[in-house]
Structure 1
């Protein structure tokens, strides 16, 4: 996470109900982390050369620009009602939503989004903006989906990869700030190939594999007890596919945290299959954390 002094939690809004859910979640995050909240609305109409002022024969308070200002004002009011006294600002930025929000990521502590916005197709479980921002962001991305719970642990998916280690650090901070437990889950099915393109062995020692996967989980949690001595930590190693395992864990969690790409991800995929699956199917909010570049 960007640890620069004053780095804000940034939430993208478009006037939809999922965006307002994201605002409430972002307000809680900003309050927990004692950071300001920045509400951002991407205003695409000037790029399309569409008139944005009030129509010639229309009332003074109409027009696309005024609608955008209303969206931001409503979101700021929602944040202040959720966490009174929170330092909250709002801004309209000309541009397409994904580009505008990605432009915020180098200086943001976190980006928070709804799972779908006004432009979402009803057949899609998660919107394209959320997927694109989670794929390319330079900071953690938190997507408001599923149930908003104040209880339950922070669940983190672990596989030993650099993004997974970043996810563990982020999840530990989240759990500590929320005053809840950290539950680390490592799901595996077969031995992991040593290099991309290697085939899986047809014969292997299942006991040795279990011991190796438990070691991966233990090493991934190294240092957490020293940095967060009062944090309750539980661990679980499961022989199953990661996505259904984490989706099941999300039914009892306040938050699920995953890395952007894990050790099983194809090199051509910037967003790994596990993080993509959680964004679509988690029963609670999901944070996607990429390894530092």
Structure 2
């Protein structure tokens, strides 16, 4: 595992033949090349053995045509990956339904990457019961590739942005964000927001330091959250941003000028047991750059 706790596994990209999924493949291939790990391109077939409402299987020719079409999707994705210089590319045509397949592959993956739109429920915008299940149950970070990507081999100077709120998943998000900023050779922007309506302040510091202005308290605690990671990644330049606002508003604004936004799947707010918080949900709907959703540490029995 790396400093940020990553598995040294492949980057897995979902493929469904759409332009959106090919953008996801481009991003995944460039990321795999930076990290010097394999890229695994996956199309999960998941077609029924029987016609809907019928008791007879489809003709073998239908199955063969479908398999041929799906291999064409993978071959097109492989050509896109080659343009990004990915050193090792594997293609997988899996018979399982898409979400169980990708959740299973996430056990040994560095990350799972999805295009921002798709068809047949395979990949795409992380909404709906099927794709929400992937974000909620994957064993590694899930990336929704949104917005315009730079051309192959074109340097991208935009920073990596991470949302920091003091929760355990926020801590994991910080580690992933430092790792990505390091491999991409760009700055890291750590964004922390607060509002008067917060019921759980960034730390318990306000309770013990009532005389400190709120901003000073929050700034000090943010610096403490980042200190250990800055020691592990001394070459990464970090900018701290503190704003009295809701996190979704500020992070959506930063997504317009970032190459990647990293957040936890669930922050300190919201209801206990929620699988996807309001901030991460808003980002995968509306961000203007790729979004990485950090997942909890899997239990040993999982």
* CA–CA distance in structure 1, aligned partners of residues 83 and 26 of structure 2: 9
Structure 1 contact 131–276 (Cα < 8 Å) conserved:
no
Partner of residue 268 from structure 2, selected from 263, 267, 279: 263
Structure 2 contact 200–268 (Cα < 8 Å) conserved:
no
Q: 1:110 matched to which residue of 2?
A: 111
* CA–CA distance in structure 2, aligned partners of residues 245 and 218 of structure 1: 19
**Structure 1 runs of 4+ with >6 Å offset:** none
State the 1:142 CA deviation. 1.1
Q: 1:87 matched to which residue of 2?
A: 88
Residue 139 of structure 1 aligns to a residue whose secondary structure is coil
Residues 57-85 of structure 1: CA distance to partner in whole angstroms, max 9, x if unpaired?
xxxx96111111111111112111222x6
Residue 213 of structure 2 aligns to a residue whose secondary structure is helix
Residues 89-125 of structure 1: CA distance to partner in whole angstroms, max 9, x if unpaired?
10111122112111111111110001111236xxx96
Aligned length: 276
Residue 186 of structure 1 aligns to a residue whose secondary structure is strand
Residue 107 of structure 2 aligns to a residue whose secondary structure is helix
Matched, 1:186 2:192: yes
State the 1:265 CA deviation. 2.6
Structure 1 contact 130–143 (Cα < 8 Å) conserved:
no
Give the TM-score normalised by structure 2: 0.84
Residues 27-48 of structure 1: CA distance to partner in whole angstroms, max 9, x if unpaired?
0110010000001111011455
The structure-2 alpha-carbon separation of the partners of 1:81 and 1:182, relative to structure 1 and needing over 3 Å to count, comes to same
Partner of residue 20 from structure 2, selected from 8, 18, 21: 18
* CA–CA distance in structure 1, aligned partners of residues 176 and 7 of structure 2: 16
Q: 1:138 matched to which residue of 2?
A: 139
Partner of residue 38 from structure 1, selected from 31, 37, 40: 40
Alpha carbon RMSD of aligned pairs, Å? 2.5
Q: 1:66 matched to which residue of 2?
A: 68
* CA–CA distance in structure 2, aligned partners of residues 19 and 282 of structure 1: 17
Q: 2:58 matched to which residue of 1?
A: 51
Q: Show structure 2 runs of 5+ residues with no match.
A: 52-56, 151-155, 202-209
Give the TM-score normalised by structure 1: 0.86
